[in-house]
Amino acid sequence: MSRTQSLLTGLLCLVLAGLAHADTYPSKVITLVVPFSAGGPTDTVARLIAQPMGKTLGQTVIIENIGGAGGTIAAARVARAAPDGYTIFLHHIGHATSATLYKKLPYDVVDDFETLGLVTPVPMTIIAKQAMGAKDIKEFINYIKVNKDNITYGNAGIGAASHLCGMLFMSALETDFTTVQYKGTGPAMTDLLGGVFDFMCDQTTNTTGQIKGGKVKGFAVTTKTRVPSLPDIPTLHESGLKNFDVSVWHGLYAPKGTPRPIVDKLSAALRVALKDENVKQRFAELGTEPEPQARATPEAHRAHLKAEVAKWAPIIKKAGTYAD
């Protein structure tokens, strides 16, 4: 047998082995890695889809929280994981922005992952400490501009959704303000409730309860349309910041090289989960909704990821703030 024939035979064996593996997949527990701490917005989304996905796949989907470095520690772990479908990864918009925020990533945010589908586009809210004097978003914007040297903005660290929203808000206002970085959304929210800093921008999955409970002032939402669960809160767009539109989209990933039949099984299970009535109800209560079925596909997800990398690169470079 020639060297070429041997190589072709070996390749054929690998393909057949992959197909056989896909036929029996999954045969054990699947780990869904979340790049942030338990109890945060992304963790909430992951736990909501894990149960119905597991039901469809016939195996338990467990959550593993691996926080740190804006989600890049978890992403690096998943990029190195065996491409067998037993390690998957949920991340938000921060996966796309990390391509520019970090200059020394040990992986490529697009090429080292298989995209499985978009999950949910979570709106964000501009919220302030209860003692803030402004009564609406227009007064608050004026307050920021007048007091830019003294006002403080809290976020969950470089690369977090709250950091990105604040960066875009500063750009839209053409006003810089002092930022206070925390290691996660939880401690940031605790200090906002205590009046330690003035305001923040965070996902409705984390802020809706605080706003409805009267613990913080909800000034605006960041999407072009109002959020059904917060109907009285205006959009930044209608408040004068034309075309301000940002949501924290979430996507599901697997390591590069995961066989296509397994990718398809995982993607199909995701789409079933997004049609689950409990998931839709819980998402609605948190101010968000499942992505349409057409966007919960590998192809739509990959196209969106590439577009978001390109969209955020100039914004981050203009701000000149990097994580490493």
What does the pLDDT look like over 92-126, one tens digit per residue? 999 999 999 999 999 999 999 999 999 999 999 99
Report yes or no: 65 and 38 within 8 Å, Cβ to Cβ: yes
Q: What is the arithmetic mean of pLDDT over 237-262?
A: 94
Domain ranges of the chain: 3-122+249-319, 124-221
For residues 316 and 45, what is the distance between their CA atoms, to the nearest angstrom? 26
What does the pLDDT look like over 41-99, one tens digit per residue? 889 999 999 999 999 999 999 999 998 888 999 999 999 999 999 999 999 999 999 99
Q: Which helix (H) or strand (E) holds 188?
A: helix 185-193
**Per-residue pLDDT, 136:** 96
Q: Are 3-122+249-319 and 124-221 the same fold in CATH? A: yes
The dihedrals phi and psi of 113, each to the nearest 5 degrees, come to -140, 150
What does the pLDDT look like over 274-285, one tens digit per residue? 999 999 999 998
Look up the pTM and report it. Answer: 0.84
**Per-residue pLDDT, 324:** 86
CATH of 124-221 among 3.30.200.20, 3.40.190.10, 2.30.36.70, 2.30.110.10: 3.40.190.10
For residues 24 and 252, what is the distance between their CA atoms, to the nearest angstrom? 22
- CATH code of 3-122+249-319, in short, is 3.40.190.150
